[in-house]
Amino acid sequence: MENLIWLIPVLPLVGFLVLGLGARTLPKSIASVLGCTTIFTGFILTLLLGSGVMSHGSVEQSIGTWVATASWSVNFGFLVDPLSWMMMLVITGVGALIHVYSAGYMHDDERHNYFFAYLNLFVFFMLLLVMGNNYLLLFSGWEGVGLCSYLLIGFWFNVDEYNEAAKKAFVMNRIGDLGFLLGLFLLLNTFGALDYKGIFGGDLLSHAPQGVITAITLLFIVGAAGKSAQIPLYTWLPDAMAGPTPVSALIHAATMVTAGIYLVLRSIHLFELAPFSLEVLTYLGLATSIFAATIGLKQNDIKKVLAYSTVSQLGLMFFALGLGAYTAAFFHLVTHAFFKALLFLSAGSVIHGLGGEQDIRKMGNLRKVLPVTFIVFAIGTLAIAGIPPFSGFFSKDQILLAAYGHSPLLFALGLFASLLTVYYMFRMFFLVFYGNSRTDHHTLDHAHESPLSMTAPLGILAALSLGGGLLNVPAIFGGGDWLQHFLEPVIGKVEEAHISASMEWTLMAIVVGLVLVVIFWAYRNYAVQKQVPGAEADEVGMGRILNHKYYVDEIYTAVFVKPAQQLSEFVGDVLDADFLDGLVNGVGRFTTGVGKVIRKIQEGTVGFYLFIFAFGILLLLVLELFF
Amino acid sequence: MLTSILLFLPILGGLLLLLAKGSQAKWISFALSLVCGGISIAMCAGFDPQLGMQFVAELPWLPNLGISYHVGVDGISLVLVLLTNLLCPVIFWSTFKQNPEHPGLHYGMLLIMQGAMTGVFVSLDIFLYYIFWELALIPAYFLVLLYGAFERNRIAMKFFLYTLVGSLLMLVAIIYLSQQNSPASFDIYDIYGVRLTPNAQLLVLLAFMSAYAIKIPIFPFHTWQPDTYTSASSGTTMMLSGIMLKMGLYSIIRWVLPIVPGAVAANQNWMIWIIVIGVAYASLIAVQQKDLKRLFAYASIAHVGLIAAGILTMTESGLQGSLLQMLSHGINAVGLFYVCAILSDRKGTNDIAALGGIRRLAPWFATAYFVVLLGTVALPLTNGFVGEFLLLSALFQKSWVWSLVAGSGVILGAVYMLKSYQGVMLGKENNGTFADLDNQEKGVFLPIVIAIVVFGLLPSLITHLSGPAIEQLLQQINQAIQAN
């Protein structure tokens, strides 16, 4: 089995090539079956690797050299250790479900086959990202998923707005990537290697100066902030919702955007040596989490709400990483992949059922019309809210507990972010499924529950959102912290803050109690009183600011984009065309001018020559006589 | 022997074609360039990276002046020979549809250019080198003059004079160097043996670099380039950007670093500063270009600037990266300018605003264009990535600020490439139809796309050829610097 590791990423690559080249000839049914099969096979193979990972700690395979210089080299080498194995399970598992769902969701799209080709390509790069045994392959996957994200956000490329969103995502990611790249250069300069073994294997780390390690990790954080949509580079993610909904679920919720968390975990031994960077992660994550959650309060597009919730949840994961709660962060990554994929796909089911409607103000009372969607959406919402025994409860609880271990204030702020999430999620939930129906008759007449290919994946994801917490049931519930022990070979044993069992119970009670209060409040507002958010233009004060997302896009445009354009025009038109080229042409004209004057000397005018001749002789005579 | 065939087959063939009339010219030139491509591959196959200079031919020519016919290839020049002779068939083939007037003249010029450029890469006598250097310029001048699209008199003259001025300064330095031996010698090993005072080194450096900075071109000596690339026919532009500018980059490695290493070490700081600023400068200008061909011209300035900066770091990764990137830039430039050629063929314009919505109409074309774009923005696993990574990391070794400034090209590169792709290919269709690639056009893109993927996955194909030669060169440089 260890010899077949390479198949796991290569299968979707082959899938991409076949689907891409055969896009116009393959029937849709074959294309979707093929697209799903490559991913599902990868999932099975990953499962089969499990025993090897558990017994040996990790399995590796190298299929050749990629870059070799005199001083360093990297291979096409794959490393499957507990961290990458779990990531692979999420990528291929959730990925396969989303592929199946897409078969239904994209069925009527004329570019259905291209869609599957791109999705397969995405899975290939995502697997490369987590499976590579060196930073260069990680970076390759990192850039590759960015490319697929670009292709899929702008999938409907005849709409200019979508193209803009796609470009924005790629460019903002590239800004982060430059930071990441500089971090890699510094890493290479410091350790003379880019493969994990070369860097972490020996005792190089203990000799490296701390300032350098801090610089490397800070540069990595820049990259992570781009890919995982953290302040200040998060603004692309809400716009990325332009892509088809399965894309939002797979790329912009479950997998790609978690690459930043993976990067930190993969480099955890560096971060452990850089307390300052960890602190940056803590506050950056916390700030993003609260900031995005407040914006979520006032969004009316079903996917935008989920997008801001993703930004906020990713912030929470970085918060946990900064606090040293590595398992909790990763645990939340996994459960979030389950419930956020579920939420996106069920939102897709709503959109699909309503013929493309995304505005929650135009929905309402849909639970009868879309009964299956209603149930799974409810499960997803309960999971993200952190109601026991749903998976989100366990992972979020561990993050908040770790925060309390640092300071009650951090606990309170983390809790605040969570409660905001609970409120806007239930606001959306009640607006969509309760209250009065605000859908026009025509749409409602055509409204329908989604086909089995869509509802079946929803069911499985709902089960995972419900039971995913079992991965890491804490001791207080009689669990064995399985995930924590499983990850120990990668992230090491982490000193946990000592919190007494009674304190733990108390905190849990506070959290769950407050969550219930907030849910009730949302219920009262949107289900009982049946409030409906008004038009954007009617918003005033803070509501208006939140509705406009703190005007961050407008500020970026004014501060960065416009000046850069003006600079570009100035450099191009004035500096280059007028000044530099003018200078060159000036030299040319000057030479021509001088040439015109000098040419007189050799124009063949005999009189002029004679004149010069005579003048010269005279001059010589005069000189001879008088000096 | 193989080297000499590679030189004289296209030059003699080209001269004969100049005299010939008739439409067979394109096939003859294509066949000859294919033969040359085959020979260059055979040379690679027979090349042993550990053995230094190979396929050497040496004959006395003007012995009393110290000039000889001395050619050969090492791991560095072989990469350029390969680039030249594998790209030329593709370039020639790509022009078939345009049916240029006076085909004998057109294809004869192209062949002479091919041979002359190969000559620059294989010459081991600096006088011979100079002859090929200028010989390559003459057909280029006529191609720009006769087949340009607009203002061709002015543009061709500017291109010719500007590059000539630089070359003459280099000629002065060459003659000066040859006279340092007694008896005078233009042979590479004698020239390498010349010991110069620091002041003389500086003057030689400046003289050489003025020729190369203009030829490549490096900011701020680039102003001839956008007009020339935009006006010239696509085939000419491909020859100029795909191959000819590499003469300048290669010459820095072959003639500047080993001859005046001390001066390079002493002056690399300000030179690299200017160049990396130029990278950001050209990228910034590219962002707002309205003509696609002109946009690619500025993008080219940015890309080759990075290569030049990497070379001047005199580090292993800088040199290795420069060779990889010269190859990649050549491949990608041909692809990009072919995109322009197809657009003007179909739509009669390269104006981005006048285009749009083509992707839906022509999926093969869209795919080919996009793959070339990916190579250009250096997406990992495409040919642009490893070279760019090595170049930027070489800059980083010397100063992180340089890699940051040059790295801004990474961001801006994504901006201008995606922006132009979006304008040309995406969005709503701007009136009418657009035929997808036919077989002949696919035949141009196919080798390019394959090369983009192959060199992205297997850069070792190149680095194993050039590795030992680069190491040896660096040793030579370090010894010379220490001896000073």
Cβ within 8 Å, pair A158-B381:
no
Q: Which of B288, B359, B389 sits opposite A569 (nearest CB)?
A: B288
Residue B480: pLDDT band (50, 70, 90) is confident
Q: Average pLDDT, stretch A169-176?
A: 90
Residue A344: pLDDT band (50, 70, 90) is very high
The reported pLDDT for the residue numbered A576 is: 84
Structure tokens at A205: 């780390």
Cβ within 8 Å, pair B422-A567:
no
Number of A to B CB contacts under 8 A, please give it. 133
Phi-psi region of B361 (alpha: psi -120 to 50; beta: other; left: phi over 0): alpha
- Interhelix angle A302-322/A259-266, nearest 10 degrees: 10
Q: Give the Cα separation of B245 and B263 in Å (integer).
A: 23
Q: Which amino acid is at A575?
A: L
**Residue B196, φ and ψ in degrees, nearest 5:** -115, 155
Residue B470: pLDDT band (50, 70, 90) is very high
Q: Is the pLDDT of residue A156 over 80?
A: yes
Q: Give the Cα separation of B92 and B29 in Å (integer).
A: 8
Q: Give the Cα separation of A431 and A442 in Å (integer).
A: 20
Instruction: Work out the minimum CA distance from B465 to partner chain A, whole angstroms.
Output: 12
Which residues are A68's β-sheet partners? Answer: A73
Q: Average pLDDT, stretch B456-477?
A: 93
Q: Give the Cα separation of A325 and A333 in Å (integer).
A: 12
Q: Is A597 in CB contact (< 8 Å) with chain B?
A: no
The residue among B365, B370, B383, B393 with the most chain A CBs within 10 A of its CB, best to mutate, is: B393
The residue among B84, B167, B116 whose CA lies nearest residue B12 is B116
Structure tokens at B130: 């100079």
Q: Give the Cα separation of B393 and B414 in Å (integer).
A: 19
Q: Considering only CA atoms, give the Rg of chain B.
A: 21
Q: Give the Cα separation of A296 and A304 in Å (integer).
A: 8
Burial of B319: CB neighbours in 10 Å, binned 0-12, 13-18, 19+: buried
Q: Would you call B221 helix, strand, or coil by DSSP?
A: coil
Cβ within 8 Å, pair A23-B363:
yes
Q: Is the pLDDT of residue B404 over 80?
A: yes
**Residue A274, φ and ψ in degrees, nearest 5:** -130, 80
pLDDT tens string B216-230: 999 889 989 999 999
Indicate the length of chain A as a whole number.
627
Cβ within 8 Å, pair A160-B460:
no
Cβ within 8 Å, pair A136-B316:
no
Cβ contacts (< 8 Å) between A6 and chain B: which residues?
A: none
Q: Is the pLDDT of residue A110 over 90?
A: no
Q: Which residues contact A442 (CB under 8 A, 6 or more apart)?
A: none
Structure tokens at A106: 């994209």
The reported pLDDT for the residue numbered A608 is: 64
Q: Is the pLDDT of residue A495 over 70?
A: no
Which pairs count as long-range contacts for B223-226, CB under 8 Å and 24+ apart, including other chains? Answer: B223/A576, B223/A580, B223/A581, B223/A584, B224/A584, B224/B155, B224/B158, B224/B159, B224/B162, B224/B163, B225/B297, B225/B300, B225/B301, B226/B294, B226/B297, B226/B298, B226/B301
| Percent of chain B's residues with pLDDT above 70 | 99
Q: Is the dihedral of CA B60, B61, B62, B68 positive or negative?
A: negative
Q: Give the Cα separation of A469 and A466 in Å (integer).
A: 7
Residue A625: pLDDT band (50, 70, 90) is low
Q: Please say whether the beta carbons of B283 and B302 come within 8 A.
A: yes
Cβ contacts (< 8 Å) between A572 and chain B: which residues?
A: 284-285, 288-289
Contacts with A, B 221-240, CB within 8 Å: 223-224
Residue of B nearest to A589 (CA): B158
**Looking at A117-126, A144-153, A290-299, A562-571, which range is the least confident one?**
A562-571
Q: Please say whether the beta carbons of A472 and A484 come within 8 A.
A: yes
Cβ within 8 Å, pair A143-B380:
yes
Q: Is A437 in CB contact (< 8 Å) with chain B?
A: no
Cβ within 8 Å, pair B407-A181:
yes
CA dist A549 → A153, A297, A426, A540 (Å): 21, 10, 20, 13
Q: Give the Cα separation of B104 and B82 in Å (integer).
A: 25
Q: Which residues contact A107 (CB under 8 A, 6 or more apart)?
A: A28
Cβ contacts (< 8 Å) between A163 and chain B: which residues?
A: 422, 426-427
Q: Which of A139, A565, A584 sits opposite B288 (nearest CB)?
A: A565
pLDDT tens string A465-478: 998 888 888 877 87
Q: Please say whether the beta carbons of B35 and B9 come within 8 A.
A: yes
Q: Give the Cα separation of B331 and B448 in Å (integer).
A: 6
The residue among B219, B343, B351 whose CA lies nearest residue B291 is B351
The reported pLDDT for the residue numbered A484 is: 86
Q: Is the pLDDT of residue A319 over 90?
A: yes
Q: Average pLDDT, stretch A147-175?
A: 89
Q: Please say whether the beta carbons of A320 and A400 come within 8 A.
A: no
Q: Is A23 in CB contact (< 8 Å) with chain B?
A: yes
Q: Average pLDDT, stretch B449-475?
A: 94
Q: Give the Cα separation of B260 and B346 in Å (integer).
A: 50
Q: Is B397 in CB contact (< 8 Å) with chain A?
A: yes
Q: Which amino acid is at A448?
A: H
Highest mean pLDDT among A575-579, A600-604, B258-262: B258-262
| Cα angle A276, A281, A284; round to 5 | 120
Residue A75: enclosing H or E segment and its boundaries? strand A73-80
Q: What ipTM was predicted for this assembly?
A: 0.92
Indicate the length of chain B as a whole number.
484
Phi-psi region of B356 (alpha: psi -120 to 50; beta: other; left: phi over 0): left
Cβ within 8 Å, pair B379-A144:
yes
**Looking at A309-318, A387-396, A510-519, A615-624, which range is the least confident one?**
A615-624
Cβ contacts (< 8 Å) between B357 and chain A: which residues?
A: 158
Residue B391: pLDDT band (50, 70, 90) is very high
Q: Is the pLDDT of residue A607 over 90?
A: no
pLDDT tens string A29-71: 899 999 999 999 999 999 999 888 888 888 999 999 999 988 8
Place of tokens 């774009």: B373
Contacts with B, A 547-576, CB within 8 Å: 564-565, 567-569, 571-572, 575-576
Mean pLDDT of chain A: 89
**Looking at A422-426, A445-449, B384-388, which range is the least confident one?**
A445-449
Q: Which of B379, B403, B408 sits opposite A147 (nearest CB)?
A: B379
pLDDT tens string B230-281: 999 999 999 999 999 999 999 999 999 999 999 999 999 999 999 999 999 9
DSSP string, A263-295: HHHHTHHHHHT-HHHHHHHHHHHHHHHHHHHHH
Q: Count CB-CB contacts under 10 A for residue B320.
A: 27
Q: Give the Cα separation of B32 and B26 in Å (integer).
A: 10
Q: Is A29 in CB contact (< 8 Å) with chain B?
A: no
Which residues are B69's β-sheet partners? Answer: B59
Q: Is B373 in CB contact (< 8 Å) with chain A?
A: no
| Percent of chain A's residues with pLDDT above 70 | 96
Cβ within 8 Å, pair B410-A584:
no
Overall pTM surpassing 0.95 (yes/no): no
Looking only at the bridges linking them, the beta strands covering A73-80 and A59-68 are antiparallel
Residue B431: pLDDT band (50, 70, 90) is low
Q: Is the pLDDT of residue A602 over 80?
A: no
Cβ contacts (< 8 Å) between B284 and chain A: which residues?
A: 564, 567-568, 571-572
Q: Average pLDDT, stretch B382-411?
A: 93
Q: Is A17 in CB contact (< 8 Å) with chain B?
A: no
Q: What is the 3-state secondary structure (H, E, C) of A342-409?
A: HHHHHHHHHHHHCCCCCEHHHCCCCCCCCHHHHHHHHHHHHHHHCCCCCHHHHHHHHHHHHHHHHCHH
| Percent of chain B's residues with pLDDT above 90 | 75
The reported pLDDT for the residue numbered B284 is: 92
Q: Is the pLDDT of residue A600 over 70?
A: no
Strand extents, DSSP E, B132-274? none
Q: Give the Cα separation of A313 and A318 in Å (integer).
A: 9
pLDDT tens string B67-125: 999 999 999 999 999 999 999 999 999 998 888 888 888 999 999 999 999 999 999 99
pLDDT tens string B144-156: 999 988 888 889 8
